[in-house]
Structure 1
Amino acid sequence: MLEVTDLSAWYGQAQALHKVDLRVGEGEVVALAGRNGAGKTTLVRCLIGLHRQIDGGVRFLGRDVTRVPAHRRARAGMGWVQDDRGIYASLTVEENLLLPPRVSDRAWPLGRVYEAFPVLAARRKAPGTTLSGGEQQMLAIARTLRTGARLLLMDEPSEGLAPVIVARIGEIIREIKATGAGVLLIEQNVKFAATVADRHYLLSQGRVVESLDNDEFQRREGDLLKHLGI
C-alpha cells in the first residue's frame, strides 16, 4: 500500500531524513517511534506531500506519488490525522464531519461515525472551540474516516489524553485495521503502540535504526524505552 525508498529530506542545507525505507501493507498498523526531533513529523509531511525538499521515492497503491501534490494524494485515499487535530473551530462537530469530500466507497456514513463515537453524536451541534482534547482527537479521526481514506497517517493520536480515551482510540485503530485500511502510527507512547501495531520502526536522527515485529518489540521494550529516552 505504502512503500518509501531511500527517502531523504532537507530544510535548506540541514538534512532531516537520511535514506528512510519503510512500508505499510493493507490491513496493517505500523508504528513509528522516536525521540522529539528524530524526524517523525518531517517524514509524515513528506508522505502527505507538504514537504517538497526531498530525494528518494514514495509509492502509494502501486503508483509513484513522490512529486504528486498533497491534494491529489488525499484524493487518492491518503488521510492525515494531524498532531494538532486541525479542527475548524467556527464549525460544529457535524459540519466538521460533513466538510471533507469522500474519496472512496470505504467512506464511513455519518450514522456509523456516531455509532463508533457516541460523544460526537451527543455533541454534534457543538462548535469545535468547546470540545475537550479527547473529543477533538476523536473528531479528527472520524473526519478522516468519513473521507474513505485507504491509508491513515496518525500523528501522536494519544498525546495528552486520559487513559480511557487512549483505550478507545486503540479500539478504533483495530476497527480501521479490520476494514483493510492501513495505518502509519507516529507515536511517543510506545506502550500504547504495542497494543495495536503489527510492526514498528525506530527513527533516530532522521534514520531508521530498528525494524521490529510486535512480538520482538514487546520482548525488548525496556531496552527500546531507554534508547528512545522515554
Structure 2
Amino acid sequence: MTVLELTDVDTYYGNSHVLHGVSLDLAEGEVVALLGRNGAGKTTTMRSIMGVTPPRRGTITYRGEGLVGLSPNEINARGIGLVPEDRRVFPTLTVHENVVLAHKLAADPRPVEEMYDLFPVLDDLRTSRARNLSGGEQQMLSVARALVQRPSLLLLDEPTEGLAPVIVDDLQAMLHDVVSQDVTVLLSEQNVHFAFDLATRGYVIDTGSIVFEGSIEDLRERDDLLEQYLAVTPEEVA
C-alpha cells in the first residue's frame, strides 16, 4: 500500500524555483532515503510534505488524502512526524518535559517510558535542560519527541548533520530499533553510509530534480551517480 506520494511537485522560496517536478512514493513499512548534496532540495522536499513551504504545483497525498493546503499541525495530526535538521527541542525544558509535552499534544501517543527504552542515553538525562545536551543527545531527543506521538510516517531530515562519527554510530544503532517497528521512514541524508545502512530504496536529488530512483543495491552499482551527485567513490560504499 502506498503511504505517501508526491507527484510533479514544484516548490518556490519567493521567486526562487527550488523543486522541479519532484515525484516520489513510499510503501507501507519502507525505509526510503532521499540523497543529495547540501542545497540539492532534500530539506525543501520535507518542508513541502509538512506544509511548511507548500508547493505551488503538484500533489502530495498521504494514504490517499491530499495534504497540499493543510497546515503543519493538521498534517502532523494525520500521523506524519518530522525530525527537522535543526532539531528544535525546547532548550529551557528538561529532557523529560520535552518528551511529555510532545506526548500531551498527540491523539494516540506511545508511553513516555518507551522512549527511554529506545534511547537509554536519555534515561540518565531526564532532568537535564535540553540546551545543555550535546548535539547527538539533542538529536536523540528530537527523534524521541516525534516517536512518542506514534507517527505512522516519520520524516528524518539530515539526522547526522554536525554529529561526530562516534555519535553517528550510536544514533544509527538506535534508529535500527526504530525502523524495525511499525513505522514508515523517509530519510534525507548527505551521509551515504548512514543512509545505505538503514534504507532499502532511494532517490537522488540534484538542484531540485530527481535524477535516480531505485534500490540501494542498484545505487551502489552506479559509479557515475555516486561520484557526480553524492561525492563518494564506489570503493567507499562497497
- Cα distance in 2 for partners of 1:74, 1:7 equals 20
Task: Give, as a single letter, the amino acid of the residue that structure 2 aligns with 1:164.
Answer: V
Task: Give, as a single letter, the amino acid of the residue that structure 2 aligns with 1:3.
Answer: E
Q: Alpha carbons of 1:27 and 1:174: their partners in 2 closer, same or farther (altered >3 Å)?
A: farther
Q: Alpha carbons of 1:26 and 1:103: their partners in 2 closer, same or farther (altered >3 Å)?
A: farther
Paired residue for 1:227?
Answer: 228
Alpha-carbon distance, 1:182 to partner: 0.8
- Cα distance in 2 for partners of 1:116, 1:211 equals 31
Aligned runs of 1:17-56 on 2, under 5 Å?
17-56=19-58
Task: Give, as a single letter, the amino acid of the residue that structure 2 aligns with 1:142.
Answer: A
Alpha-carbon distance, 1:25 to partner: 1.6
- Cα distance in 2 for partners of 1:12, 1:110 equals 40
Q: Please say if 1:103 is aligned against 2:107.
A: yes
Contact 1:76 1:103 in 2 (8 A): no
Task: Give, as a single letter, the amino acid of the residue that structure 2 aligns with 1:61.
Answer: R
Alpha-carbon distance, 1:54 to partner: 1.9
What TM-score do you get using the length of structure 2 for normalisation?
0.90
Gaps of 5+ in 1: none
Task: Give, as a single letter, the amino acid of the residue that structure 2 aligns with 1:103.
Answer: A
Q: CA RMSD in A?
A: 1.4
What TM-score do you get using the length of structure 1 for normalisation?
0.93
- Cα distance in 1 for partners of 2:118, 2:166 equals 15
Contact 2:32 2:185 in 1 (8 A): yes
Task: Give, as a single letter, the amino acid of the residue that structure 2 aligns with 1:225.
Answer: L
**SS, match of residue 139 in structure 2:** helix
Contact 2:112 2:148 in 1 (8 A): yes
Paired residue for 1:203?
Answer: 205
Alpha-carbon distance, 1:34 to partner: 1.1
Task: Give, as a single letter, the amino acid of the residue that structure 2 aligns with 1:64.
Answer: G
Gaps of 5+ in 2: 232-238
- Cα distance in 2 for partners of 1:72, 1:189 equals 31
